[in-house]
Structure 1
Amino acid sequence: MMRRIGTAAALAVLAVLAVTPAATAAAPPPDDTGRSWEVAGMLPFASQGDISALAMMNTGSGAVRQAQFPDYFAFNAAYSPDARTVYGTGYVWDSLGAVFAAHDAATGDILWQVRTDEGQSGRALAVSPDGSVAMTGWAAVDLVTHEVETFSPCGDDSIPYAVAISPDGSTAWHTCSFDDPTPNLELRAYDVDTLAPVETIRIPGHYPGVAQGIEITPDGSTAMISRSYQATGEHTSIPVVLRVDLTTGTYATLELDTRNTISISPDGTHAYVAASNPGSALDTGVDEDPPPDHRGDEAPIPAAVTVALCAIDIATLTVTVSVPLNAVHADPAVSPDGAHVYAATWDLDGPAGARSGISTHETASLARLRDTPVADRSIRTLAITPDQAPIARLTASEPNSPVTFDASASTVEFGTISEYAWDFGDGASTVTTTPTVEHEYAEPGEFTATVRLTSSGGTSTEDVYTGKQLLRNGDASAVATVTVTVPAAVSTKLPPTGFQGAWVAIVGFGMLVAGVTAVTRRRVQHGREGA
């Protein structure tokens, strides 16, 4: 758009009071709140015989909805980066063949699925950061073409119980267990694109439990592995959590009897697990340190054993806080903003028989905020909606003094836009919590102003990924720019250093006669497809 400023307008700015260029936040924006995240969990064999279900809890209201399906016995779940699809793995019960299925996140309906021969692992699942491929214990699934390339990451002598993909999307790490002749846990790394072996980290004297979990810190340096066992004798072992340096292959252990999977916070400082109440001597009713058969037949866990939700400091490998869950098993999941931990809990012998639910906890203290009943059957591994980057839209007023920048047309899918980081292109910048700001330019010229948005979930342009799925789906859509040409008659020229009092800017005679032409170019960065 081109606007000509006539002689009268030029005369109006012959004299201005000198001020330091400043950014001023304007009035609060209209309500631009997006929807709440959802926590999804699989219910193998829900209330009707051999029918499984996908349960989804709204983290804001606590409301739960379920979608039933008879196609497979579901074990694991993970979201696509755009939060539109929930992927599940499990078994075909009559053949024990493995299943990979894609569910519509809005309805829970199965969109498509692939199956394999019996005897394969239907537990392991990780979705790559770019959403192009899913790694399971038996195949790499192309999520665009739905093509499947089967392979055996642990060879013929073992099956993988868990898999995690590196945050750069290049490598898939599988947990494998071998007797040769003593127990050994191996982390086997494969190239995600070619499935070629990359590296093996061998951990002697350890083997995984069936419901093992693995996640990777967002910087890609460290793997945390739950439900591992360290052999202490021919028929004895102690349960441990493993911390593995993926660069050096060194590892450390924390003695803790974890029950199922593990979840890492978005800042990479803590891991969350469910474990037999740490620090208390529980009467399990079974022999001390029962070693599981690493092929899958674990010693039964009596109903008397309850678990606690535990926070582990990854750097020190210590439990910093724990709270009882009053359940036999639990699977944790951390929210994208790191403020809450959700635990899928189930108990085979509750007051009314089998029961399951999702509890909500504050991360620092693990204080229980809410308990949400889900079903009368067990609930498996949780997955949480990835937070999405805001979509920034930016306009600028005509180059008056000051210029008003407006990002109020920006949108966000989840939560709210919590931060607007402004760069005015002249060396000045500011951060506001409101979408409009005013700025005075001290010199004439062409300036490109930029706004970078951050959602209340902490998402801006950068991804946060912890091995299984994205927590924050960062995108360039969070940034918008606009170019403003400021004429000499509009700029607020700064006084000399140490000057006090009023300062008058005189506009040349030629400008008064000819007037001032100001050209403003505006560019709004387009959002992602479908926004």
Structure 2
Amino acid sequence: MHQHHRKRQRAAGLLAAMALATWPAIAAAPAAAAQPTGDPLIAYAVGAAALAPIDAEAGTVDSPIGVGADNRAIAITPDGATAYVVDGTAGTVIPVDLVGGTPGAAIPIGGTPVSIAIAPDGATAYVVESFAGGIFPIDTATNTVGAAIPVGGPLGPIAMTPDGSTIYVGDTGANEVIPVDTGTGTPGTAIPVGGLPVAFTITPDGSTLYVATSTANAIVPIDTSANTAGTAVPVPSTPVGLTITPDGATVYVATSGNAAYPMSNGTLGTVIPIAGAGIPSDITITPDGAIAIVVTAAGNVVPIDLETNTAGASVPGGAGPSLFDVAVTPDQAPVASFTVDAAKSPVAFDASASTVQFGSIKTYTWDFGDGTPLKPETTPTTTHEYAQPGNFTVTLTLTSSGGTSTEVVYNGRMVVRNGDATAAATSQSITVAPEASTSGGYVLMVTGANTGWELVVGGVALALGVGFVLLARRRRPGRR
């Protein structure tokens, strides 16, 4: 026996006893594991002096949060904790704690700020001041304003590429879009768009910026790799708001003609009437891509079912006589966690300890590490039979009901899906070892937190480290 507290067990019949007496017990999976669920995802509509919290799925509006006096725009940090609200008349940006529903100290910008975008990493909010023509960076950790990036004015909408390298700002005097290098703070060559730019959105891959122009009544695509404008797509009435589905497939435009339109592959789709709610002022889409939310100048909120492209009944926003902008709290990545049931074969896995902040977990995708196809499940428990001996690593990847997994999705103004590596979990390694016993079947053992064990199987010493699972194939009766 070695002197490093390793124990040698030569009797194959002690395998099961070791699993029970020495290793931490692993509970068997429950018959019906509970499905992890979180809170409903909330959108926030901007009124002149308040925010209206909206449960898009339930179609309800909660009590407004009093903030500002002449609010015009909103963006929310990737973690969903803070909204930044632009107060145009006061020349400030107001951070609002969305957990407590309380405004913080106003951040002075000066002049007339009109639009805002938060970088994909959440570290900086960029605020456009219209008439002096500058872009002001705000450090979201300290809520302090950095040196302005001079662009010239008057300026309007803002968008940022998903890699954070370029800001696009609308020059509403020259009917152009100006790219700005965020690394150097240098404006590039202006891009003519043929009309007054009023709203932007960008594809999740960052390849195309879409510009809504009011005087030309059109949507103009800009190739961000070349910074050149493509063919404009005419819109029947004045565009006022623009957004894009999380998969980047469809742009939606809200217009002053009490309507919205989908646009795919450069073609405008069938009109979606928005009757009796007032003239739309902005539009956004929930992270799951299922609902568009339109806010109107009459202070109403209108949901659009994007599966059927039909508008639902309007709901009073409760944040004043008019609503100007709307943003949805970014969906958060689930946190994957699972255990292994070592009591029997096939191996049982239980991910009911996983958590989700908003909505629920839509899919549990298992990679069992043995080359079998990935196995998506809608419930947290599953089993798997390993056909051959070997070492395997199991990985579980979760996707929330909002569509969020490991990847970040950004729409030009803020993160929509705050994907993170926490949505994937890697298990203990699983070792399938042949000829470990004199009887048929399998014995599965987990070391847990123990270290320094040595198991002798067929004369071969196997060192077992932390977090390893040993699946030993028992020798059939009569074999040596």
1:201 maps onto 2:187 in alignment: no
Shift of 1:512: 7.7
Q: Which of the numbers 395, 398, 414 marks the counterpart of 1:469?
A: 414
Shift of 1:86: 0.8
Shift of 1:426: 1.7
> Relative to structure 1, is the Cα distance of residues 152 and 426 closer, same or farther in structure 2, using a 3 angstrom cutoff?
closer
SS of 1:100 mapped into structure 2: strand
- Alignment-derived partner of residue 433 in structure 1: 378
> Relative to structure 1, is the Cα distance of residues 377 and 243 closer, same or farther in structure 2, using a 3 angstrom cutoff?
same
Shift of 1:89: 0.8
SS of 2:167 mapped into structure 1: strand
Conservation of the 8 A alpha-carbon contact between 2:331 and 2:402: yes
> Relative to structure 1, is the Cα distance of residues 29 and 441 closer, same or farther in structure 2, using a 3 angstrom cutoff?
same
**Cα deviations by residue, 1:269-288 (Å, 9 ceiling, x for unpaired):** 211222244xxxxxxxxxxx
**Cα deviations by residue, 1:348-380 (Å, 9 ceiling, x for unpaired):** xxxxxxxx2211110133223343212351011
SS of 1:117 mapped into structure 2: coil
1:317 maps onto 2:267 in alignment: yes
Shift of 1:386: 0.7
Tell me the C-alpha RMSD between the 2 structures: 3.2
The one-letter amino acid of 1:174's match is V
CA distance in 2, matches of 1:251, 1:218: 18
**Cα deviations by residue, 1:276-314 (Å, 9 ceiling, x for unpaired):** 44xxxxxxxxxxxxxxxxxxxxxxxxxxxxx1122222x
SS of 2:88 mapped into structure 1: strand
> Relative to structure 1, is the Cα distance of residues 176 and 63 closer, same or farther in structure 2, using a 3 angstrom cutoff?
closer
**Cα deviations by residue, 1:200-259 (Å, 9 ceiling, x for unpaired):** 3233x4333xxx1111111111111224323xxxxxxxx222222222303222222234
The one-letter amino acid of 1:441's match is Y
- Alignment-derived partner of residue 132 in structure 2: none
1:264 maps onto 2:235 in alignment: no
Shift of 1:114: 1.3
**Cα deviations by residue, 1:470-513 (Å, 9 ceiling, x for unpaired):** 11000000010112342525899xxxxxxxxxxx7899xx9788
Shift of 1:336: 0.4
Shift of 1:152: 5.2
- Alignment-derived partner of residue 192 in structure 1: 182
Shift of 1:174: 0.5
> Relative to structure 1, is the Cα distance of residues 173 and 3 closer, same or farther in structure 2, using a 3 angstrom cutoff?
farther
- Alignment-derived partner of residue 453 in structure 1: 398
Q: Which of the numbers 233, 248, 272 marks the counterpart of 1:254?
A: 233
Q: Which of the numbers 390, 396, 401 marks the counterpart of 2:345?
A: 401
> Relative to structure 1, is the Cα distance of residues 216 and 26 closer, same or farther in structure 2, using a 3 angstrom cutoff?
farther
> Relative to structure 1, is the Cα distance of residues 103 and 426 closer, same or farther in structure 2, using a 3 angstrom cutoff?
same
The one-letter amino acid of 2:281's match is A
SS of 2:13 mapped into structure 1: helix
Conservation of the 8 A alpha-carbon contact between 1:164 and 1:214: yes
Q: Which of the numbers 312, 323, 340 marks the counterpart of 1:369?
A: 312
Conservation of the 8 A alpha-carbon contact between 2:242 and 2:283: yes
Q: Which of the numbers 336, 339, 357 marks the counterpart of 2:300?
A: 357
Conservation of the 8 A alpha-carbon contact between 2:259 and 2:280: no
- Alignment-derived partner of residue 168 in structure 2: 173
CA distance in 2, matches of 1:32, 1:5: 44
SS of 1:8 mapped into structure 2: helix
Q: Which of the numbers 339, 342, 347 marks the counterpart of 2:293?
A: 342
- Alignment-derived partner of residue 218 in structure 2: 240
1:368-387 matched pairs, under 5 angstroms = 368-375=311-318, 376-387=320-331
Conservation of the 8 A alpha-carbon contact between 1:460 and 1:478: yes
Conservation of the 8 A alpha-carbon contact between 1:309 and 1:325: no
CA distance in 2, matches of 1:4, 1:434: 39
For structure 2, list consecutive stretches of 5 or more residues without a partner in the other structure. Answer: 1-6, 18-28, 130-135, 444-454, 469-480
The one-letter amino acid of 1:64's match is D
For structure 1, list consecutive stretches of 5 or more residues without a partner in the other structure. Answer: 13-24, 45-51, 179-183, 231-238, 278-306, 348-355, 493-503, 524-531
Conservation of the 8 A alpha-carbon contact between 1:175 and 1:188: yes
CA distance in 2, matches of 1:74, 1:455: 32
- Alignment-derived partner of residue 288 in structure 1: none
Conservation of the 8 A alpha-carbon contact between 2:80 and 2:98: yes
1:488-503 matched pairs, under 5 angstroms = 488-489=433-434
> Relative to structure 1, is the Cα distance of residues 390 and 311 closer, same or farther in structure 2, using a 3 angstrom cutoff?
same
> Relative to structure 1, is the Cα distance of residues 150 and 92 closer, same or farther in structure 2, using a 3 angstrom cutoff?
farther
> Relative to structure 1, is the Cα distance of residues 250 and 441 closer, same or farther in structure 2, using a 3 angstrom cutoff?
same
CA distance in 1, matches of 2:397, 2:9: 31
> Relative to structure 1, is the Cα distance of residues 518 and 431 closer, same or farther in structure 2, using a 3 angstrom cutoff?
farther
CA distance in 1, matches of 2:386, 2:292: 46
> Relative to structure 1, is the Cα distance of residues 243 and 400 closer, same or farther in structure 2, using a 3 angstrom cutoff?
same
1:144-183 matched pairs, under 5 angstroms = 144-151=141-148, 153-155=150-152, 158-178=153-173
Q: Which of the numbers 22, 42, 47 marks the counterpart of 1:43?
A: 47
SS of 1:477 mapped into structure 2: helix
- Alignment-derived partner of residue 8 in structure 1: 13
> Relative to structure 1, is the Cα distance of residues 369 and 3 closer, same or farther in structure 2, using a 3 angstrom cutoff?
farther
CA distance in 1, matches of 2:381, 2:36: 14
Question: How does the TM-score come out when normalised to structure 2?
Answer: 0.81
- Alignment-derived partner of residue 32 in structure 1: 36
CA distance in 2, matches of 1:487, 1:246: 51
More moved, 323-332 vs 261-270: 323-332
1:77 maps onto 2:27 in alignment: no
CA distance in 2, matches of 1:506, 1:331: 61
CA distance in 1, matches of 2:150, 2:267: 29
> Relative to structure 1, is the Cα distance of residues 223 and 490 closer, same or farther in structure 2, using a 3 angstrom cutoff?
farther
- Alignment-derived partner of residue 67 in structure 1: 65
Conservation of the 8 A alpha-carbon contact between 1:312 and 1:318: yes
> Relative to structure 1, is the Cα distance of residues 54 and 484 closer, same or farther in structure 2, using a 3 angstrom cutoff?
same
CA distance in 2, matches of 1:521, 1:339: 44
CA distance in 2, matches of 1:223, 1:165: 9
The one-letter amino acid of 1:131's match is G
Conservation of the 8 A alpha-carbon contact between 2:156 and 2:172: no
SS of 1:381 mapped into structure 2: strand
CA distance in 2, matches of 1:198, 1:160: 15
The one-letter amino acid of 2:63's match is R
Shift of 1:434: 1.6
CA distance in 2, matches of 1:72, 1:193: 34
Conservation of the 8 A alpha-carbon contact between 1:126 and 1:468: yes
- Alignment-derived partner of residue 354 in structure 2: 410
Shift of 1:90: 2.0
